[in-house]
Amino acid sequence: MFLDKIEGSPTLELVNLVLNKQAKGERVLSLAIGEPSFNTPKEIVEEAYRAMLSGDVHYTSSYGTFEVREAIVRKVKRKNGINAEIKNTIFITTKLAVYAAMMAVHQAHYEILLPNPGYFYSEPAILSGATPVYYNLKEDFSLDLDEIKSKITQRTKAIVVNSPSNPTGKVYTKRELEQLYEICSENGIYIISDEAYEDLVYDTQHFSIGSLEKEPMFVISLFSLSKSYAMTGWRAGYIIANERIINLVNKLLENTLTCFPPFIQHASAYALDHGDKFIQIFRDELRKRRKLMMEKIEEIRQFSATMPDGAFYVFPRYKTRIKSFELAHKILEKAGVATLPGSSFGSAGEGHLRLSYASSEETIIEAMDKIKKFLEF
């Protein structure tokens, strides 16, 4: 079977391992999962509840309700500078959006450029029928435009960029993205821009590459409500793209999910219109946790890391001569702390661990102290 050849999500595999340990009564501290410790704001939850009570529980268009699509348009114009219309929007959870975008640009024997290190884009690319081709980042995890240009062939149909980055926390500059857009537009290459962490930027500014276009053309922008509004379990997000791409994604939804729950769409519209106050609270708290995490990393002689610009991850390099997969499992077994091996994010991630500071301050302190004790034993 084709799916037998597809790798599972490293994050979810670790989640299952941690849950199994906890079910056996073992205590595990997690710095592995990309999920804020905050709950969804009460106002957003109440909007979904009211929608359900009012009977908003039936099928919607596969594109999403007009209510949420209009809210999406208002939001991307206001916050991202993207000149979109209703026809350029579709409501879809962001992980599925990655796969859907790749399917929408599909052509026979095509290649798609993926960052190394980078999020788990390779399996969706393979599922879509593409051949993944990896481009390395610079030592500071910024875009290496010469490297990208060297990877482009006649079969290259798209490139994925992720800013703020998972796992590195890097935020690409406006200049970098302008140069990337110039390269891709000249070569007729789509840019799939994963901006799931757009609101979690601390000392710089997030820039949406889609704002460079008068109307959506080459850029396919992917957005999520999961991190911005602590709505990870709601599976809420959206795509901004040209009308042809949106219509192709809609075909995928029509033939698979049909639509997303209308009460979730209603609550998402509310969050997009009224949720900036929650984002500010979450961002301020995560900024404090980032500082704490960096302080704890500095206490561990085997670790070295630069301050991440955004998201809620640090990607420290370690000095121990051991593969990252083996180190992560030893830390889990011996210290009771879950981390993610850097090699999960590509060959360039080897020698690193991904540590999330989305957990509580108490968890960060205890977990990092346990890691230090284990590494310095």
Domain end, chosen from 251, 275, 299, is at 275
* Mean pLDDT, residues 16-36 taken together: 86
Q: Torsions phi, psi of 256, nearest 5?
A: -130, -80
Q: Counting runs of H as helices and runs of E as strands, what totals does the chain give?
A: 12, 14
Buried-exposed string 326-348: b where 16+ CB fall within 10 A, e elsewhere = ebbbebbeebbbbbbbbbbbbeb
Q: 205 and 290: one domain?
A: no
The pLDDT value given to residue 351: 97
Q: What percent of the chain has pLDDT over 70?
A: 97
Q: Is the pLDDT of residue 102 over 60?
A: yes
Is the separation of the CB atoms in 254 and 246 below 8 Å?
A: no
Task: Check whether 361 has a pLDDT greater than 90.
Answer: yes
74 and 128 part of one domain:
yes
User: Are 112 and 228 contained in the same domain?
Assistant: yes
Q: How confident is the model at residue 109 (pLDDT cuts 50, 70, 90)?
A: confident
Q: What single letter denotes the amino acid at residue 364? A: I
pLDDT of residue 303: 97
Q: Is the pLDDT of residue 1 over 50?
A: no
Would the pLDDT of 136 be above 90? yes
> If pLDDT is split at 50, 70 and 90, which confidence band does 23 have?
confident
Distance CA 123, CA 7 (A): 7
Residues 30 and 86 in one domain: no
Same domain assignment for residues 284 and 270: no
Reduce the DSSP state of residue 88 to 3 states and report it.
Answer: helix
The boundaries of the domain holding residue 78 are 42-275
Buried b (16+ CB within 10 A) or exposed e, 69-101: bbbbbebbeebbebbbeebbbbbbbbbbbbbbb
Q: Do 105 and 233 belong together in one domain?
A: yes
100: confidence class by pLDDT, cuts 50, 70, 90: very high
Q: How far apart are CA 204 and CA 206, in angstroms?
A: 7
H helix or E strand, kind and range, residue 71:
helix 66-75
Question: 16-30, 93-107, 323-337 — which is least confidently predicted?
Answer: 16-30
Interacting residues of 315 by C-beta distance below 8 A, sequence separation 6+:
117, 141, 167, 168, 169, 305, 308, 342, 349, 352, 353, 354, 355
Give per-residue pLDDT as tens, 35-73.
899 999 999 999 999 999 999 999 999 999 999 999 999
Comparing 141 with 34, the larger pLDDT belongs to: 141
Confidence of residue 377 (pLDDT cuts 50, 70, 90): confident
For residues 303-325, give the mean pLDDT: 96
Tokens of 36: 């804020």
Q: Are residues 69 and 12 part of one domain?
A: no
304 and 238 both lie in a single domain: no
Length, in residues, of the chain: 377
Q: Answer with the one of 209, 242, 275 that is the final residue of a domain.
A: 275
- Distance between CA atoms of 309 and 32, rounded to whole angstroms? 19
CA 27 vs CA 82, 274, 334, 336, 356: distances in Å: 46, 38, 12, 7, 18
CATH number at residue 360: 3.90.1150.10
Query: If we measure between CA atoms, which residue out of 13, 7, 44 comes closest to residue 270?
Result: 44
Instruction: Give the Cβ contact number of residue 165 at 10 Å.
Output: 27
Q: What is the mean pLDDT of residues 72-84?
A: 99
CA dihedral 347, 36, 9, 91 (to 10 degrees): -110
Segment 195-204 shows an average pLDDT of 97
Q: Are 117 and 354 in contact (CB under 8 A)?
A: no
214-262 confidence digits (pLDDT tens):
999 999 999 999 999 999 999 999 999 999 999 999 999 999 999 999 9
Residues 172 and 310 occupy one common structural domain: no
Whether 169 and 243 map to the same domain: the answer is yes
Contacts of 344 (CB under 8 A, 6+ apart): 10, 11, 120, 324, 325, 354
Residue 230: φ, ψ to 5°: 55, 50
Instruction: Taking residues 276-300, report their average pLDDT.
Output: 97
d(CA 147, CA 144): 5
Among 260, 275, 290, the domain boundary falls at 275
- Predicted local confidence at residue 11, as pLDDT: 65
370: pLDDT strictly greater than 80: yes
Q: Is a pLDDT exceeding 50 seen at residue 143?
A: yes
Residue-wise pLDDT for 321-354, tens only, equals: 899 999 999 999 999 999 999 999 999 999 999 9
Return the pLDDT at 20. 83
pLDDT band, very low/low/confident/very high, at 3 (cuts 50, 70, 90): low
Domain count, the chain: 2
Residues 131, 204, single domain; the answer is yes
Across the chain, mean pLDDT equals: 95
- Report which DSSP code applies to 7: P
pLDDT band at 2 (very low <50, low <70, confident <90, very high): low
- The answer to whether residues 250 and 200 belong to one domain is yes
The CATH number of the domain holding residue 143 is 3.40.640.10
Q: What is the DSSP string of 141-178?
A: S---HHHHHHH--TTEEEEEEESS-TTT-----HHHHH
| DSSP annotation string for 337-353 | EE-EEGGGG-GGGTTBE
Handedness of CA 264, 268, 274, 278 (dihedral sign): positive
